[in-house]
Amino acid sequence: MTPTGSVDGRTVVFALVGVALVVGSIGLFVADLGSAPPEPVDTEETVDVGLTLAEELRLEDTAPNASLPRVQVFYSQYPFPVGYHGVESFAAKQRQPYHRDQFGYPTAVYVTDYAGQPPELTDDGIPSTDGSPGWVAAEDAVYVADSAARTPDGPASLPFSTRDAARAFAAEHGGRVIDWQTALDRPTETEPVTALRERAGTQRREANETVASRTRLRERPVSVVVGEDEPTIDEAVESAPPNTTVLVPNGTYREPVELDRPVTLRGVGDTRIVGDGNGTVVVVRSPRAAIVDVDVDGVGNAVPGGAATDDHSHVNDPSHDSADTIGDEYWDEDIEETYAGGDTAIAVETAPNALVSGVGIDTDAAGIILYESPGTVVRDVHVVGNESYRNGHMGLVAMRSPGVVEDSTFVGGLDGVYTHRSDGIVVRDNEIYDNRMGIHLMFTSGSVLYNNTVSGQEYTGIHVMTGPERNAVVGNRITETVTALVVGGSESYVADNVISDNNLGFQIDVVGSIVEGNVFADNRAGAEARAQLPTNRVFDNDFVANEQHVRSAHGRLRIWTDDGEGNYWEGATGRTDGTVIQRTYTPTDPVDGRLHRTDGTATLARAPALDALAGFQGAIPGMRADAVIDTAPLCEPANEAWFERTGRTDTEPVCASGTRRSLET
């Protein structure tokens, strides 16, 4: 029988002819049994998995002749080979649920051949060779396991095309010689989702300790009072003993200020420090200095201008996440000079563990620039920038300055909070409005962006770029922005954010990451899957009242289900077991994608012909391109509190359990 169906009034006929199928225990796949296996290609022609750009750059600095073991895999469902940094990385990935469904089966697997280029090991165990090793079929190689060799991800098994070469390496560096199947069967360490959650929580607790330590700088005893003991702020600072407070009474003080010793400058009442409109007003140059409870005005108007707003706008420019760009030292220095330059209300320069608190700033240039000042806390500040971002600067710049930015407001200007090589920074509980970008991370890994409210950005609410790793974006609210959230890099945690009323909710460039517990509501597009390879775990998210729940690009099939549970999709329909809907939902499908917007599509979605088409698409790689599939969609929202709080309970489906009725009509 030939299955037929009707979409938009047109008859669709699907002929299942001329297809050779291989059926295995883990899926249904197309096999071209007559073709020869492809030959290995240059590394530059593969799409890599398993090593971040940041790690590659560190290797260039610490081991310039590094030659990591690689696995090159040709999959039946991909037109390009996929490269893994090490046997362990490949073994871990191919064991993940849905890996075979998304990639297909391997048609050829090659590994680095160290037989002709015997590697030396660095002090850190990184393999290093004088030349470029060749390739050998994985099944024809032998492997040295449990030696001193490592990759940035951990212990590494090194492949050799001859047993003699493998034994020679093992004799010098330890280990044992094993075959390919044994190498694949060895246990590998993968970070569970609980570890990602716990890491974000640990960093927030550590941030609490940092804030408590810096806040104690407010409690220093008063040693000098401006106007009583010394006539000017600068003279008072100069005469104050270390670890004391310079008290600045209510009033306006028209002078530039420099804190070059570990003292606290604290205002009382309405205290204003006003510059002459040229240059920076307050400069902090001492560790554990503090400026608290003052307003700063009269800042100069030197700003990055077109160098930042045009040349470095980064908007939809994939080159800014490439290894070539990141490795360009001149480009990096140019960015640093541009964004850390210009005038600012407060500059903290090479002054670790400083405190800026209770400060109000009105400026057409930058609000606060932190430069080489790790451990600094900025809290309870209010920065109002230029209404035109093209004529303004950042609310706050953290340049090589990991610390804490919290409980503050940044309005107007270029970016609300901009970070550059500030690994581990925590940005939390801030309100950021009407900038070019709300929070903009460059070259910054291990950050926590938590519970910020971001709205009205010209381009992006939160943008994490330039190949970072281990960033946590948790509990933020992003609204009324062209693109709410863009996360690049890898091994990150995106959870519990509410993303609503944007043109695009979440541009998913990140790989190897967890996306859970988010709400995507009332956006033109809830999310866009852009990463080339389907290595993310996406589950327990709610998609509600978006014109289009998901759109997809730059990849093949992506399965957004984890451990038997997927996401809640307004419009998904079918019989339920009380937890999930027992019908696959494909938000990128022209029928499923309309279920929440068009009357009658629910009936069409359950038509036998379209169910047959879904199975046919699952078998033919070419028909799976750019698809997102949820194999176990939730029958009720993951974030019921949000639905109740926003009065959206009328959009909830009801499961076929307890007092809930079935979704099936």
Cα–Cα distance, 150 to 196 (Å, whole number): 23
Would you state the CATH architecture of domain 194-427? 3 Solenoid (2.160)
pLDDT for 611 equals 54
**DSSP type of residue 157:** P
171: Cβ–Cβ under 8 A, 6 or more apart, which residues? none
495 versus 186: the higher-pLDDT residue is: 495
Cα–Cα distance, 499 to 502 (Å, whole number): 7
Mean pLDDT of the chain: 84
3-state secondary structure of 238: helix
pLDDT for 8 equals 34
In the chain, what are the domain boundaries? 41-185, 194-427
Q: How confident is the model at residue 531 (pLDDT cuts 50, 70, 90)?
A: confident
Question: Is the pLDDT score of 600 beyond 70?
Answer: no
CA atoms in the 13 A half-sphere facing the CB of 523: 31
Pairing of strands 542-544, 154-155: unpaired
650 versus 270: the higher-pLDDT residue is: 270
Q: What percent of the chain has pLDDT over 90?
A: 58
- Lowest mean per-residue pLDDT among 66-75, 410-419, 516-525, 647-656: 647-656
Name the H helices within 130-192. Answer: 163-173, 180-185
pLDDT for 256 equals 95
- The b/e string for 597-610 (b: 16+ C-beta within 10 A; e otherwise) is eeeebbebbebebb
Cα–Cα distance, 290 to 244 (Å, whole number): 10
Tens-place pLDDT, residues 236-274: 999 999 999 999 999 999 999 999 999 999 999 999 999
Q: How confident is the model at residue 141 (pLDDT cuts 50, 70, 90)?
A: very high
Q: How confident is the model at residue 516 (pLDDT cuts 50, 70, 90)?
A: very high
Which residues face 398 on adjacent strands?
370, 419
16 versus 35: the higher-pLDDT residue is: 35
pLDDT for 554 equals 66
**DSSP type of residue 20:** -
Say which amino acid occupies 35.
S
Say which amino acid occupies 344.
T
Residue spans of beta strands (DSSP E) within 57-208: 71-75, 82-84, 106-113, 120-121, 127-128, 134-137, 142-145, 150-151, 154-155, 158-160, 176-178
Cα–Cα distance, 259 to 607 (Å, whole number): 73
Give the global pTM: 0.83
**DSSP type of residue 308:** I
pLDDT for 17 equals 28
Give me 78's structure tokens: 């991909």
pLDDT for 322 equals 41
Question: Is the pLDDT score of 595 beyond 90?
Answer: no
DSSP secondary structure letters along 351-420: -TT-EEES-EEE-SSEEEEEES-TT-EEES-EEE--SSGGG---SEEEES---EEES-EEESSSEEEEEE
Q: What is the mean pLDDT of residues 650-655?
A: 62
Tens-place pLDDT, residues 287-320: 999 999 999 999 999 888 666 666 544 444 444 4
Other CB atoms within a 10 A radius of the CB of residue 520 amount to 27
pLDDT for 279 equals 93
